[in-house]
Amino acid sequence: MGFEDLIPAPRTGRRVRPPAPFVLDGRTALGAGPGTEGVARLLRDVLGAATGLPLPDGGADSGIVLRLDPALEREGYRLAVDNRAVRIDGGSAAGVFWGATTLRQLLGPEAFRRAPLDPGRRWEVPGVVVEDAPRFRWRGLLLDVARHFTPTDGVLRRLDQMAAHKLNVLHLHLTDDQGWRLEIGRHPALTAVGAWRPRTRFGHRASPLWEEKPHGGFYTRDDIREIVAYAAARHITVVPEIELPGHSQAAIAAYPGLGNTDAVDTASLRVWDDWGISPHVLAPTEATLRFYEEVFEEVLELFPSPFIHIGGDECPREQWRRSPAAQARLRELGLSGEDALQTWFVRHFDGWLAARGRRLVGWDEILEDGSGGPGGATALDGLTGGAVVSSWRGRAGGVAAARAGHDVVMCPEQQVYLDHRQHPGPHEPVPIGQVRTLEDVYRFEPVPPGLTEEQARHVLGAQAQVWTEVMEDQARVDYQLFPRLAAFAETVWSVLPAPGERDVADFERRMAAHYRRLDALGVAYRPPSGPLPWQRRPGVLGRPIEGAPPNV
């Protein structure tokens, strides 16, 4: 296996002539230059597990040698292999780590196993020089742990998969109408009550079936510390999302006073068992702001990420319209209408986070102007310069934000919502959304058209989303993510061969090798061809929902 099979594709790679493979054996040492010790520890762990070799500490002349080279791009690396040494130089420890990830791919798929298959096997790295660096700094995956909970070990497993694909931002969607998943010391009912729902609609929004058993779970603060540290060792930032002011039914079920108590009976509210957008939204009161400040104080203690996501999407205004208190609040604040209340929430936490050295991230609804400002004003005018937009309803939000000088992360549902079905056939398990094939995802271009070069620099990168309404376990999430996450990884890591150009045939050729890596990693991906298990054994999961609209 050579650099020709790498995914994501590196910037440049060439074979060393004459061929001079490096042989990894019981005497191979691993030398870590200053600043690369953490990468060495991890590489020794993963390669030691896969090969059974000890990889003792070594020097700078032979064996595997890791070093920082400040002349390289921050996340860039140079991997040079000959028959004496494997040298990985990186612009930072992250760069060295991505180089080490490439080394693992060069060793062959078995290098991704957790135990040696054959203790006597010969491990060889082909003689190559690879020079590489990512196209974007935000190479993200959103994992929705609210709709279906992923226990901590599942999140760690997801981080391993991300690292193997050189993805570096895990956006954890921690709260929603259907569950609150983060322990908050000062507000224990958020998880004691908000982390559990009595039953779940089984499958699709239009499904007539219910799973009549409780679902739930949450991360303790120690779980989060473990996840954050595990991610940091892999040079992945964990961005927490705490939704407000919409998608808040679980929080209101736990603390009814957070809701619009004069418009609806929140005392009898339960964590939502259905899918869609709940009408239950936060009341626009000072008490609500204080409560969420206390939540965010704990969030900031746990998550070192410079970016903190506050949601901001899909907030119905109906309860604010019906609530005398919300209406009075609106007048008191001199706001033009209910839309402005949403902007008011977002601005408050933007300033609050900025004062603590963090940057607010919100879904593109935060662009909608509820401020009643003069023509042309957008809600962004009231935000600090650091606020970032996650552009999900297409590309327009990203374009508007970048033009206004704000950083954006491109998450368009039309291309990178990986909960959407990946095949037009009727046999996808719970086939929701539009068809997004592996090739569709591979053709995704993160920078939207119509931006100047300067505006395009505000595109920090892109993010794949996996919303888990219809994914009750790890295998289902694997199936939705893979193989498409491999294609996505290439769209955010690899530079295009030429503007607008992707070589699909070459990607498909490299995927043949990559499926073997996914096998070794234990990923339950969608098989590339042949009948799916559901086609052989049709049942509830495989049947399209009668009468369902095509895009749900």
- 176 as an active site residue: the answer is yes
- Which string of x and - marks every residue 190-229 that binds ligand ACM (by CB under 6 A)? ----------------------------------------
Q: Which of 144, 176, 338, 419 is catalytic?
A: 176
Catalytic residue among 247, 406, 420, 458: 247
User: Is it true that the peptide bond before 18 is cis, omega within 30 degrees of 0?
Assistant: yes
- Identify the residue among 73, 294, 298, 314 touching ligand ACM (CB under 6 A): 314
C-beta of 225 vs 393, nearer to ligand ACM:
393
Counting contacts by CB under 6 A, is residue 180 touching ligand ACM? no
Task: Phi first, then psi: give them for residue 150, nearest 5 degrees.
Answer: -110, 115
Q: Helix, strand, or coil here: 238?
A: strand
Convert residues 320-359 into a mask of x (bound to ligand ACM by CB under 6 A) and - (unbound).
----------------------------------------
**453 included as an active-site residue:** no
- Judged on CB neighbours under 10 Å (0-12, 13-18, 19+), 489 is buried
Residue 414 binding ligand ACM, by CB under 6 A: no
256 burial type by CB count under 10 A (0-12 exposed, 13-18 middle, 19+ buried): middle
- Which CB atom, from 323 or from 463, has the smaller least distance to ligand ACM? 463
> Is the separation of the CB atoms in 103 and 132 below 8 Å?
no
**Contacting ligand ACM within 363-382 (CB under 6 A):** 363
The least distance separating ligand ACM from the CB of residue 176, rounded to whole angstroms, comes to 10
* 247 is a catalytic site residue: yes
Residue 272 binds ligand ACM, judged by CB under 6 A: no
State yes or no: residue 149 binds ligand ACM (CB under 6 A): no
Count of residues of this chain found to bind ligand ACM when the rule CB under 6 A is applied: 4
Q: Confirm or reject binding of residue 297 to ligand ACM (CB under 6 A).
A: no
Tokens of 318: 């109906």
Verify binding: residue 313, ligand ACM, rule CB under 6 A.
Answer: yes
Q: How far apart are CA 406 and CA 548, in angstroms?
A: 38
Q: How far is the CB of 350 from ligand ACM (least distance, A)?
A: 18
Q: Of the two residues 113 and 393, which places its CB atom closer to ligand ACM in the complex? A: 393
Written as six digits, the tokens of 437 are 């094939």
CB 275 within 8 A of CB 335: no
CB of 99 to ligand ACM, least distance (A): 34
What DSSP letter does each residue of 252-289 carry, written as one string? HHH-GGGS-TTTS--TT-----S-S--S-----SHHHH
Question: Which three-class secondary structure state does DSSP give residue 179?
Answer: strand
442 Cβ neighbours under 8 A, 6+ residues apart: 487, 490, 491, 502, 504, 507
Could you say which of 314, 445, 508, 519 is catalytic? 314
Binding to ligand ACM by residue 392, rule CB under 6 A? Answer: yes
Name the residue number minimizing CB distance to ligand ACM: 313
Instruction: Locate 381 and state its tokens.
Output: 């005018």
Structure tokens at 35: 């600043």
User: For the chain, percent helix, then strand, then coil, each to nearest 5?
Assistant: 35, 20, 45
Tell the smallest beta-carbon distance from residue 366 to ligand ACM (Å).
11
Residue ranges in contact with ligand ACM by CB under 6 A: 313-314, 363, 392
Return the active site residues.
176, 247, 314
